Structures are given as C-alpha cells and as structure tokens.
Chains A and B, each alone.
Chain A
Amino acid sequence: MPKLIKNNELTENISQTLDKDFSGKIDEVLANKGTVLTPKEYWLENSEQLAGKENIGIWLDSDEGPEELSPHIEKLSLIAINFPKFADGRGYSYARILRDRLGFKGELRAIGDIMHDQMFYLKRCGFNSFAVREDKNAEVVITGLNDFSECYQAATVQDKPLFRRR
C-alpha cells in the first residue's frame, strides 16, 4: 500500500533512512532503487561528495535544528524532519525556518510518527511530503490535509493572517 503523500498525491515510499551512526559505503547504498536520507552530520562531513546528487537527501532528528544547512540550501532537493513522537512539536518550527528564513524550495518531508491529525498543521508549516506511519491507512490520512478551509494566523502556507484578508 502506498505510504508516501507527496504534493497531495499518494505514492510508494521507496527510500531508505540511514542511521545516525552509518559508516558503510555510500556508493553501495546509492546503487539501490529510490531515495537515500542521510543523517545531518554525515551529509555535512561529506557535503562535497554528496551535494547536488539527485537521489539523496538529509534527515534531521527532532533535536537537530536546521540553521547549519544554510550555506548548502541551494544544493539540497530533499530534507526530512523526524517526529519521534507526534507530541514532539519541534519539527514544525524547523520547517518554518527552512522555508521562511533559509528559503528552502525542495521537498520537505515529515517522517516518523505521522498520522491524520497533524497533516493540516504540517502542511501549513511548509511540509509538502509525508511518510505515513506504518499502521495507518494513507488514503484516510491524506484527507487530513483539508481538515480546515480557513485559519486565523499567518504561516508558511498562507502567509497573510486572516485580519489582512477578512
């Protein structure tokens, strides 16, 4: 069953996420089908080799802010932010900084404990890609993107607060 929601559509999630202590051969991993998400530290250490590669992205854990990615932002096409538990809301702020401040234009993916009820908030903070939790039905989860049709405050998506529109 498709487990990735990307640009409002369901698709297969063909990607592998490398552990934080990954020390294997990256070329072997890259030879596999799909996308590879590397830990932030690993990418930064190997940025010259990895920057600009099509099928590679970075994943940030919930205690890793995005500021250090600033000099590399143009070279990145995919950044994932991990939500180890959905009650851990740090990733929402990281996403807004990536989009609004660092000007990241690529795919911003929410990974980890992702289900129906965060979808609308995640979307407003700039995520356009969602790896749905394994036990959840992505066809139901995707409807969460449209739980609301109006909101009071500004965010990454809809940057004018309601008071400038009402």
Chain B
Amino acid sequence: MYKYDEYDRQIVRERTQQFRGQTERFFDGTLDGDDFLPLRLQNGLYVQRLAPMFRISIPYGMLSSTQLRKLAHLSREYDKGYVHFTTRQNVQFNWPAIKDVPDMLEELNSVEMHSIQTSGNCIRNTTSDQFAGVIDNEVIDPRPYCEIIRQWSTLHPEFAFLPRKFKIAVNACPDADRVAIAVHDIGLEIIKNSAGEIGFKVFVGGGLGRTPVIGSEIRSFLPEKDLLTYLDSIVRVYNMHGRRDNKFKARIKILVKALTPAKFAEMVEAEWQHHKDSESQLTQEEITRVKSFFTSPDYAQLENNADSFETAKKENKAFSNWVKRNVSSHKIAGYSIVTLTLKKVGVPTGDATDKQLESIADMADEYCFGEVRVTHDQNIVLADIRQDQLFEVWQKAKSLGFATPNLGMLTDMICCPGGDYCGLANAKSIPVAEQIQLRFDDLDYLYDLGKIDLNISGCMNACGHHHVGDIGVLGVDKRGDEFYQVSLGGRSGRDATLGKILGPSFARAEMADVIEKIINVYTENRTEEELFVDTFRRIGMAPFKERVYAKAN
C-alpha cells in the first residue's frame, strides 16, 4: 500500500488548513454560501436533505486496518456510529456537523487519508480492480499507475473547475473488467504491445447519468511514460471546449459525441504534441518508486486445497456454498480472495457500523496482512486469506453478518442512498432493495438463478449504475409521486451494454412482484447453461413485457 512521505503529508496538511480557513470565513460571513458551495464540494462536503454528507477518498479502494479503525472512531465521535461505502470505492459520513469537518480532516490526515476532490467539478478518485495484485491473469498490477494518477490529479491547478465531474478508472485484467472502464470519462486498459512494453489503451467519453454512453477508444497504445502528458491533453481539450451552458450536457461524453471520437482524438493528439516531451513525462525512477509500495506481502509456502479445507467444505454445506460464491482464486498457492458482503436484508446497501469496521480491521490484522479493499459494488475484500484459515474467517464473518453468500446474486444489489438521504433523488431506493431482498430470501433458489446484477438508482444521476445492470431500477418523479422505471439487458465490464427500458413505471409496492415476474420469464425460457443476460439476448424484450404488463384476469 502507498505510504506518505513528508511531501504527501505536507500537501494534505496544507489542504486541511486551507479548508479550515474557508469554513471559518463561511461562519464569520466573509464567504457566502454560494461561494462556499464549490469549495466545500471539492473537499467532499455536501449539504444533503437531512444533514451534511462528507465523502472520504479511498484511493483505488485500498484501506489499512489503522484507517478502518480511524473511520470507526470518527463515526462514533462525529456521526451516528456508521458509515456508507459508495459505488466509487469511497466512504461517506451522513451526519457530521460542518464546523467539525476540519477537525475530522486532521484526524484523517494522521492516518494518510483525505477528502480532496471527492466531489465537485474536478478529477475524482481513480478507481481500479479490487483484485489488483492478487490475481494471476492481470497484465501488471494497476495500482501504481492509479497512485501516479492520484498524485498528478491532486490539486491540479488547471483542472479544479472543469465543466463537470471527471472520473478515471484503470483495468489491467484482459478477461474481466471489475471497474467498468467503459462507463468512465477516461477508461485506461493496461496492455502489453508486441515488444512486451507496458502501455494503455485509452477510452474517453463513457458515462452513466441521464445520457448513458459507452466510451470510445481514442488511442490503441499509449506508452507508460506518456501517461500524464496525455491525460493533461485530454483534460485540457475538455476544459476549454466542454459545454458550460447546461450542466446536463457538460460531461465529456457530450463533447466527444458532438465532435465525434475521431475529431476529439485529433484535437487531443494536436494538444499532446506540444507537451509530450515536457518534464511531466514519467521517469522510470518514478514508476519504480511507486511500484515499490505495492510489493507482495510475506506469503507462507503453502499448497492449494489443503486437506483441512477440503474436509471442512465436505462437512459443512453452508461453508461450501459461501466458498463457491464469495471466495475467488488467488495467484499464490494456498491463498484465496474473500469478499465480505455488506448486503444483509434490512441494512441499507453499503452501510457498516463502527463495531463492524473494527471487526473487519481485526480480521484484516489477524488474517490478511492488515489490509482490505472496498469494491465498487459496495462490498469489502480480504485479498490474502490462507485457505487453511478460510473456515475460521467464514465463522467470524458469519457472526458479524458479512457472510451472506450472495455475491453476484440477485440480492447482492448495487443501490444508491436514494431519497432517504440524498437531496438529488427523485425516489427512495433502499426500501425497494429491501422489498426485493425479502421476496428472494431462498438461497438455493438464488444460486439456481445464477449471476444477476440488479442495480437501483434513486434518480437520473445513476449512482446505482442502473443502466448496466441485468435488471436496472430507476426512481422517477411522476407528479410528485415516487415511481420506478425498469430496464433490462444492461451489462458492465467487457462488452458493456446499456439496458433497454421495459415500459411504463411502477409504484413502489409493485416492485417485488415486477421483479419476480421478470425472473419467472427468465427461468421458464432459459436453457441449462444460460445466465440471465444470455436468455435476454436470445428471447428479447417482448416476453418480459408481455408478462409484466399482462392484465390481471
């Protein structure tokens, strides 16, 4: 994991002092609310429906046990004893007082955390694969490049006031994409060219929100040394030419679409020629320096599938179910990757209490070299678990409510905070998630259904990624009432696809019935090997539409 040196510490310290000054000027009246707004947003502070919301950055999802304990402490001290993990690998406090935020920041700084650019029209936290560094089929560990991007984008003087927010994601896994690079403003795919050199395939202009777009490739191979100068060029073209007259048309995807990806690429290339050989060109020393923070921990010499592990699976059906669903294979023999699910029925998706955070920290220290990762589908990963300790880890996780073996299943939904918390939402999303979780509580049935992404957003901003779920649910406002529009056939990751709208929207009370009808159409039509997405692609929208909107006799 990256460790701050004196430079990093000084920069976050000075940022906190700057924010303390801004907060003081806000309270003494020399900085009015309108002027304070973009400033506090750049520091992750929103004023929400019920209270301020304060978003903390978790660079590419990596958290240490010390940081987890600090979050637990802050949630107790300044909030109501819980936090919310977001769909962009960040974490939020829902009830802090504005005046306390500078003190919270100082505490966060002490464990090498901050809230810089977690909101506002600037470059946000760079996200990456939650399995980075521990799977054997990645081209190279993407995290050092994410850290290099983090440093470049932090307090970038030219790009603090972009037309709109700007999100970058990095993937290095050739046969999977757990970060959804196709729906980011910039998606970077790490690849090797025929000479074996590392570089990036560059995509721009992807995004969700009210105009969902799949990103376009603008460069097939960017050498690693050119990463920052090329990013500078893309963002400069966007900063100068992106629309500022309408915030719904201000994202880079609209510019790329209006110009065409080819023309946009040409403009970036022209801009890049001016500074590709500048001092911002990466040095091998820097790449090596940053890589040195992401070395392998001290793994034990083990064999895969030790006897004790195999026996435990045979003797305990529930354990073996959990292993099947929530445990993934690791590049080191005798180790596995565990995903703890934060999706228990009755608990808002992604929420964790102070006690739970501390328990996760304890588990990380005891079993996982003191580190965890946060995933974009709002779960927690313990990336380095010895297989002969999996049973123990499962028992602990179960007692803490983190071992619902539903990873990737219908009830492991992505869900934004919705109208219960968020000032932008048209409708509540948490009660819909709960209704569906209660309806589908038979685990054997869920396993039989296989992998289905159900994504719920409370409004067009699409924080719940509803466009790219097999089943997407979007909260809409109809003459002051909350309704839900359903879409089918979306997909994130490789061959990302946007879902299509099923038809007129539904009242909240109908939602579990609607989802059940959709699932029934799938189970009645699928062939043995088909997942939901395959059946949908084969039979199309019509049978689903027919069933859901059939008149009751």
Q: Does A56 contact B (CB under 8 A)?
A: no
Q: From DSSP, what is the main secondary structure of chain A's interface residues? A: loop
Closest chain B residue, CB of each to CB of A153:
B152
When distances are taken between beta carbons in the complex, the residues of chain B under 8 Å from A100 are: 274-275
Is there contact, CB below 8 Å, between A86 and B161? yes
B1-23 vs A, CB cutoff 8 Å, 1 = contact: the mask equals 00001010011001101100010
* Given A137-B30, A161-B280, CB of A155 within 8 Å of CB of B158: yes
Of all chain B residues, the one with the shortest Cβ separation from A63 is: B244
Known: A150-B11, A153-B151. A92 touches B157 (CB 8 A): yes
The answer to whether B155 touches A151 (Cβ under 8 A) is yes
**A65-B240 CB under 8 A given contacts A148-B14, A162-B7, A163-B283:** yes
Q: Is the CB of A154 within 8 A of B239?
A: no
Contact B279–A161 (Cβ < 8 Å): yes
**CB <8 Å contact, B280 and A93:** no
Residue B449 at the A interface, CB < 8 A? no
- Closest-by-CB residue of A relative to B36 is A117
Indicate whether B538 reaches chain A with its CB closer than 8 angstroms. no
Q: Does A166 contact B (CB under 8 A)?
A: yes
Q: Which residue of B lies closest to A163 (CB)?
A: B286
Taking a contact as CB atoms under 8 Å apart, the answer to whether B239 and A90 are in contact is yes
Whether A117 contacts B154 in the complex (CB less than 8 A), given A65-B240, A89-B159, A150-B7, comes out as no
Residue B333 is within 8 A (CB to CB) of chain A in the complex? no
| A160 interfacial by beta-carbon distance below 8 Å | yes
Known interface pairs A120-B157, A121-B160. Does A154 touch B280 (Cβ–Cβ under 8 Å)? yes
Say yes or no: A88-B38 contact (C-beta < 8 A), given A121-B157, A137-B30, A161-B279. no
A86's contact among B7, B15, B38, by CB below 8 Å, is which?
A: B38
Best-buried of A86, A163, A164 by chain B (most CB within 10 Å): A163
A1 within 8 A of B: no
A93 x B158 contact (CB < 8 A)? yes
Cβ of A152 < 8 Å from any Cβ of B? yes
As a 0/1 sequence over residues 129 to 166 of chain A, the CB contacts with chain B under 8 angstroms (1 = contact) are 00000001100100000011111111100011111101
For the complex, is A31 an interface residue (Cβ under 8 Å from B)?
no
Name which residue of chain B comes closest to A133, CB basis: B35
- Measured CB to CB, the nearest residue on chain B to A155 is B157
Q: How many interface residues does B have (CB within 8 Å)?
A: 43
Q: Which parts of B524-542 form the interface with A (CB within 8 Å)? A: none
Within 8 A of A (CB), among B260-299: 274-275, 278-280, 282-283, 285-286, 289
Contact of A151 among B11, B31, B289 (CB under 8 A): B11
Q: Check B236 for interface membership: any CB of A closer than 8 A.
A: yes
Who on chain A is nearest to B18 by CB? A147
* A152 partner, pick from B22, B152, B160, B275, beta carbons under 8 A: B152
Instruction: Digitize B30-72: 1 where CB-to-A-CB distance is under 8 Å, 0 elsewhere.
Output: 1100010011000000000000000000000000000000000
Name the B residues within 8 Å of A150 (CB-CB). Answer: 7, 10-11, 14
Q: How many A-B residue pairs have CB under 8 A?
A: 110
State in angstroms the CA–CA spacing of A155 and B152 once bound together. Answer: 11
Chain A residue at minimal CB-CB distance from B122: A89
A80: interface (CB < 8 Å): no
Contacts of B154 in A (CB 8 A): 152-153
Contact between chains at B22 and A117 (CB < 8 Å): yes
The answer to whether A163 and B157 touch (CB under 8 A), given A88-B244, A89-B239, is no
A148 adjacent to B160 (CB under 8 Å): no
- Residues of A within 8 Å of B157, CB to CB, are 92, 120-122, 124-125, 151, 153, 155
Q: Which residues of the partner chain B approach A110 to less than 8 Å between Cβ atoms?
A: none
Chain A residues contacting B80 (CB-CB under 8 Å) are none
Q: How far is the CA of A125 from the CA of B15 in the complex (A)?
A: 18
Q: How far is the CB of A164 from chain B (nearest CB, A)?
A: 6
A163 touches B239 (CB 8 A): no
Q: Is the CB of A93 within 8 A of B5?
A: no
Q: Which residues of A contact B11 (CB under 8 A)?
A: 148, 150-152
Given known contacts A93-B240, A149-B14, A166-B7, A154 and B279 CB-to-CB distance under 8 angstroms = yes
Interface membership of A78, Cβ < 8 A: no
A-B contact pairs, 22 of them (CB 8 A): A86-B161, A87-B38, A89-B160, A89-B161, A92-B160, A92-B161, A96-B158, A96-B236, A100-B275, A101-B274, A117-B39, A148-B11, A149-B10, A151-B11, A151-B155, A152-B151, A153-B228, A154-B280, A161-B279, A163-B151, A164-B283, A166-B7
Residues of B within 8 A of A (CB): 5, 7, 10-11, 14-15, 17-18, 22, 25, 30-31, 35, 38-39, 121, 151-162, 228, 236, 239-240, 244, 274-275, 278-280, 282-283, 285-286, 289
Residue positions of A touching B, CB distance < 8 A? 65, 86-90, 92-94, 96, 100-101, 115-118, 120-122, 124-125, 136-137, 140, 147-155, 159-164, 166
Given contacts A117-B35, A148-B11, 18 further A-B contacts (CB under 8 A): A86-B38, A90-B239, A90-B244, A92-B159, A92-B239, A115-B35, A120-B157, A121-B155, A125-B157, A148-B18, A151-B11, A152-B151, A152-B152, A152-B154, A153-B157, A163-B151, A163-B289, A164-B279
Complex A-B, nearest 5 residue pairs according to Cβ-Cβ distance, in ascending order = A89-B161, A124-B157, A121-B157, A163-B286, A152-B151
